[in-house]
Amino acid sequence: MAETFYKEHSKFHVAVDCIIFGFDDGMLKLLIHKRKFEPFLDHWSLFGGFLRSDESLDDGARRILFELTGLENIYLEQLYAHGEPMRDPAGRVVSVSYVALIPGHKYHSGFSEQYDAVWIPLNMMPDLIMDHNDMVERGLKWLRRRASTRPIGFELLPEEFTIPRLQNLYEAILGEKLDKRNFRKKLLSMDFLKKLEEKDKTGSRKGAYLYKFDQQMYNKLVDNGFSFTI
Amino acid sequence: MAETFYKEHSKFHVAVDCIIFGFDDGMLKLLIHKRKFEPFLDHWSLFGGFLRSDESLDDGARRILFELTGLENIYLEQLYAHGEPMRDPAGRVVSVSYVALIPGHKYHSGFSEQYDAVWIPLNMMPDLIMDHNDMVERGLKWLRRRASTRPIGFELLPEEFTIPRLQNLYEAILGEKLDKRNFRKKLLSMDFLKKLEEKDKTGSRKGAYLYKFDQQMYNKLVDNGFSFTI
DNA sequence: ATTTTAAGTGTAATATTAACACTTACCGGG
DNA sequence: CCCGGTAAGTGTTAATATTACACTTAAAAT
């Protein structure tokens, strides 16, 4: 069919590259690996692959993430299409980048060794192939903007988390210290955090209460015109 | 070269579609036309075309905008890549949408008749082909977000404009009435509007002073940590 | 001169943000 | 068992930003 109407037009390889954020040890990190094929075999690279003829971009991103890391049900969002003619010296490839946020409880699940993936703190990023460093930079900007206008920080934490831990995350994302009291006050005033009975004692002797993000409550608030900001 | 390493992978047509906003008569409008080729010959459509093998996505968007409307030097920004396998019944096409903002002084320059383009108010949008209505919706969301965090409103006005006119524009973008005094106060307090000597008397007997957006001043402010919001 | 119309102007009330320091709970070691 | 260390937890005040609101003015048209 395509051949009927569009055959005179050029065709392109379409790739998907995943900018995979994680949060550990008080630091934002990115999951990268050494490329498994030519060109740039063995160079540091984002996780990427070619789109298949029967899948959407979103499906492609999901598949690639799964194939290369074994991770499923991950927060994924399209970021930007890169199409400089010479961006890949091995051929004309349009690459669509996606941001993925890996929650805390999957961060340490052993996949990274199996799949030869490594977590690298953002401020120690090596040179990546092609325009991947640009993608990372764009991804970080996206994360900053997004995390301050949507409650997506929770995507990077375990389901149950403490307020201090959440604050550390926001500090890492925004790159600035925040005031403890103001942070807590603001978050709790928004009414979508459910306090649990237990404490997490890994962070201190005293222990800090665990909380859960209440998605339903958040949705209700949004319906009533509430909008998240931090 | 591409054939050396990537030849086993699928290739795709890549299209660019332009979501072209204008502001006239107190209304936000979109420039659309009736499609010139099959499939969907003669159906309402955004301005779009196929990417060429030697151009970047940005270049493609610029070229298509120029070929189909004759307009050059227009504010253009990439929005989103659409890649559902069945989005185009005539074949597999990945389409990257771009937003274009047409300034007031080019709005009425006669190009729209020459090129068989029509300005349609956003609230009277007809059914467009394929996923073009989705693109428009996304474009509008983008415009709302963007216009309230960056001084891009000016891209939709003539170089010289009055405060009331600027307010009308923001009201049209945001879809809500704004307070005259607060609006003026806020805008002028930001210090990047240069007041001119002349008045524009088309809007009233009294006439309203003309202003110009001072890009250099704005840049300086941004360097000092200022950030625009409305 | 009078009417008409949109432009232009200031202040007070309210809400939001920012700054800031001490107490508490708990564990571990002496 | 008590003492020290450590991160968690807690309120108030000042400064700033936002909202609400109504009359005067300039100039053209009659």
Which nucleotides in chain C have some atom under 7 angstroms from a protein Cβ? 4-11, 17-21, 24-28
What does DSSP say about strands A208-213 and B11-24: parallel, antiparallel, or unpaired?
Answer: unpaired
CA–C1' B226–D19 (A): 22
Taking an 8 Å cut-off on Cβ atoms, the answer to whether A94 and B51 are in contact is yes
* CA closest to B37 among chain A residues: A5
Q: Where are the alpha helices (DSSP H) in chain B?
A: 2-6, 57-69, 104-107, 111-114, 132-149, 163-174, 180-189, 215-223
B57 contacts on A by Cβ (under 8 Å): 81-83, 94
Q: Output the furthest CA–CA distance in chain B (Å, rounded).
A: 71
CA–C1' A207–D4 (A): 17
Whether B226 has its CB under 8 Å from any CB of chain A: the answer is no
**For range B212-227, the mean pLDDT:** 94
Map out the domains of chain B with their CATH numbers: 2-149 (3.90.79.10), 159-223 (1.10.10.10)
Is the previous residue joined to B39 through a cis bond, with omega within 30 degrees of 0? yes
Query: Is there contact between B186 and strand D, defined as CB under 7 Å from any strand atom?
Result: yes
How many Å apart are CA B207 and CA B200, to the nearest integer?
Answer: 5
Query: Which residue in the block uniquely carries the two structure tokens 């460093």?
Result: A133
Render pLDDT for B10-61 as a digit per residue (tens, 0 to 9).
Answer: 999 999 999 999 999 999 999 999 999 989 999 999 999 999 999 999 999 9
Taking an 8 Å cut-off on Cβ atoms, the answer to whether B14 and A14 are in contact is yes
* CA closest to A84 among chain B residues: B56
Whether A42 has its CB under 8 Å from any CB of chain B: the answer is no
A82 contacts on B by Cβ (under 8 Å): 57
Query: Is there contact between A184 and strand D, defined as CB under 7 Å from any strand atom?
Result: yes
Which nucleotides in chain D have some atom under 7 angstroms from a protein Cβ? 4-12, 18-22, 25-29
Query: Is there contact between B179 and strand D, defined as CB under 7 Å from any strand atom?
Result: yes
A50 contacts on B by Cβ (under 8 Å): 6, 9-10
User: Are B27 and B122 within 8 A, CB to CB?
Assistant: yes
pLDDT of B137 reads: 98
- CB within 8 Å of A176: residues ≥ 6 apart: none
Nearest-CA neighbor of B6 among A61, A8, A11? A11
How many Å apart are CA B153 and CA B155, to the nearest integer?
Answer: 5
B 163-192 → A contacts, CB under 8 A: none
Nearest to A53 among B2, B54, B92 (CB): B92
| Ordered DSSP codes for A1-26 | -HHHHHTTS-EEEEEEEEEEEEEETT
How many Å apart are CA A174 and CA A191, to the nearest integer?
Answer: 22
What does DSSP say about strands B117-121 and B160-162: parallel, antiparallel, or unpaired?
Answer: unpaired
pLDDT of A2 reads: 47
Nearest to B2 among A13, A54, A83 (CB): A13
Q: Is the predicted pLDDT of residue B64 greater than 90, yes or no?
A: yes
pLDDT of B110 reads: 85
pLDDT of A3 reads: 59
pLDDT of A216 reads: 96
A148 contacts on B by Cβ (under 8 Å): none
Taking an 8 Å cut-off on Cβ atoms, the answer to whether B56 and A89 are in contact is no
Rg for chain B (alpha carbons), in Å?
20
Looking at chain B, the number of H-run helices and the number of E-run strands are 8, 10
Render pLDDT for B67-84 as a digit per residue (tens, 0 to 9).
Answer: 999 999 999 999 999 999
How many Å apart are CA B68 and CA B187, to the nearest integer?
Answer: 36
Whether B16 has its CB under 8 Å from any CB of chain A: the answer is no
pLDDT of B109 reads: 85
Distances (CA, A) of A45 to A38, B25, B208: 12, 51, 56
Question: For each of chain A's 230 residues, which pLDDT tens digit applies?
Answer: 545 799 999 999 999 999 999 999 999 999 999 999 989 999 999 999 999 999 999 999 999 999 999 999 999 999 999 999 999 999 999 999 999 999 998 888 888 888 899 999 999 999 999 999 999 999 999 999 999 999 999 999 999 999 999 999 999 999 999 999 999 999 999 999 999 999 999 989 999 999 999 999 999 999 998 999 99
B55 contacts on A by Cβ (under 8 Å): 85
Nearest chain B Cα distance for residue A37, angstroms? 9
Nearest to B1 among A14, A53, A91 (CB): A91
Nearest-CA neighbor of A52 among A63, A41, A42? A63
> Order of strands across the sheet with B193-200?
B160-162, B208-213, B193-200
A-B contacts at Cβ under 8 angstroms: 121
User: Are A169 and A21 within 8 A, CB to CB?
Assistant: no
Taking an 8 Å cut-off on Cβ atoms, the answer to whether B14 and A94 are in contact is yes
* Average confidence score pLDDT of chain B: 95
CA–C1' A185–D5 (A): 27
